[in-house]
Amino acid sequence: MKLRSPSSILALAAAAVLATAACGTSGPGTGDTVTVWGLQDTALNPVQQKAIKAYNAKGDHPEVRLQTFVNDPYKQKLQTALGSPNAPDVFSNWGGGNLRTYVKAGNVVDLSPMLKSDPSLKKAFLPIVLNGARLDGKYYGLPLQGMQPVSLYFNKDVFAKAGIAKPPATWDDLLGAIDKLKAKNVQPIALAGSQSWTELMWMEYLLDRVGGPEAFAAIEKGEPGAWQAPAVKTALNMIVDLVKRGAFGTNYGSVGQDNGAADALLSHGKAAMELMGSWEYSAQLAAAPKFVNGGKLGWTAFPTVPGGKGDAANIVGNPSNFFSVTTKSKKKQAAQDFIKTSLTDPAYVNDLVKIGQVPPLTGVKAKLQAAPHADFTTYIYDLVAKAPSFQQSWDQALDPATSEKMLTNLQKVFNRQQTPEQFVAAMAG
């Protein structure tokens, strides 16, 4: 899945104004400065700057400064800097395989002793999200922002006109809905097929529903034969069936996500459903406010698969972004004190909720219920809080080379340029 920072639900219209406050100018930390590296986000950065300002005003500790970067250049800059004297003290990352690379290189501080010495800190976070930065039994990061699970979104008006009374709960329900929608000359599912990360979400959920989380866990660990497991081929064949049924229409290969084309198909009633991360809500609110505010946008969990091993409550997506501390930092204790104090600070949590994020914290549901768009944000919170498994997006869980290879071959399957057997052979080779 493409790397995303959750957008503001409430502050999107003010993004240009907020952007002026989003970026610090300091370099890597020296002396009495703790330097924090993160991603540019016009909604989140002002919240972070506010929290840093409040933290700096308290107590006797080094001054904290935030420096932000555009998404793709940041990954390259971080990879180069972490093993050098120019490393920041604290850096934002996506957990999983992305973080594992840095941990293997000895560039990340183990935060397990900090969590052990302060049990209340560990209990403050939802375990299923905190585990996104847990590698080989050790914790290397703390969640810094909202959760981003993937759900199935739908247009209520289109469903009603097609005689679909409720969103699909099972795979048979989904296939039945597809047939009814096609009979009404409506594209069943919007898909931005020009960007393969949107297709990956279908594979992630189907493998989980068919083979359970163990199926991808074996792939992630690099176990021999993991890509050749029967569940992988079954999931791929289900995708091929969707394509052949016309579930995604005929032009999905030229549809984009970043330009809002797939979202527009849903909001304009040209398509009935779309599988997407939780940022779909804020994206639709910004582009089609009448569609959202008029109660026409619906959402539901991914359907169950009969005979599958995966729990119906399992989810996939991006648990959160994380703050980690570098081993090159000359202010390791100060850096740990900062993330320990700031990420659970009530004012910071309140500000995250105000911009529409769903913090991965225990006891935050009451704040969500009292805030705007509570029907959606509490749905997201419950979806994560009740999930037995939260599988990280594969393109973040796997190493970059494997991820690129996987996305390339999966797109070929969606375009019917490659069979499931050929995909398996390519990934196992």
Cα 114 to Cα 108: distance, rounded to the nearest angstrom: 14
- Model confidence band, residue 418 (pLDDT cutoffs 50, 70, 90): very high
pLDDT tens profile 68-122: 999 878 988 998 999 899 999 999 999 988 899 899 999 999 999 999 999 999 9
Q: What average pLDDT does the segment 277-303 reach? A: 96
Q: What percent of the chain is modeled with pLDDT above 90?
A: 87
SS3 389: coil
Q: What average pLDDT does the segment 338-346 reach? A: 97
Q: What average pLDDT does the segment 324-331 reach? A: 97
pTM of structure: 0.90
SS3 343: coil
Average pLDDT, the chain: 92
SS3 358: coil
Cα 274 to Cα 29: distance, rounded to the nearest angstrom: 43
Q: Do domains 12-147+319-391 and 149-316+399-428 have the same CATH topology?
A: yes
What integer pLDDT is reported at residue 26 of this predicted model? Answer: 40
Cα 169 to Cα 189: distance, rounded to the nearest angstrom: 15
What integer pLDDT is reported at residue 83 of this predicted model? Answer: 87
pLDDT tens profile 390-404: 999 999 899 888 999
Domain 12-147+319-391 has CATH 3.50.50.100: no
- Model confidence band, residue 54 (pLDDT cutoffs 50, 70, 90): very high
What integer pLDDT is reported at residue 220 of this predicted model? Answer: 93
What integer pLDDT is reported at residue 15 of this predicted model? Answer: 36
pLDDT over 90 at 320, yes or no: yes
Q: What average pLDDT does the segment 121-141 reach? A: 96
At 172, the amino acid letter reads: D
Task: Take residue 100 and report the two structure tokens written for it.
Answer: 């594992």
Terminal Cα distance for the chain, rounded: 23
What integer pLDDT is reported at residue 237 of this predicted model? Answer: 98
Task: Take residue 180 and report the two structure tokens written for it.
Answer: 């009814």
Q: 329: left (phi > 0), else alpha (psi -120 to 50), else beta?
A: beta
Q: What residues does each domain of the chain span? A: 12-147+319-391, 149-316+399-428
H helix intervals, 246-276: 261-267
pLDDT over 70 at 11, yes or no: no
pLDDT over 80 at 2, yes or no: no
Q: What average pLDDT does the segment 379-383 reach? A: 98
The fold for domain 149-316+399-428 equals D-Maltodextrin-Binding Protein; domain 2 (3.40.190)
DSSP string, 93-160: E--HHHHHHHHHTT-B---HHHHHH-HHHHHHB-HHHHGGGEETTEE--EE-S--EEEEEEEEHHHHH
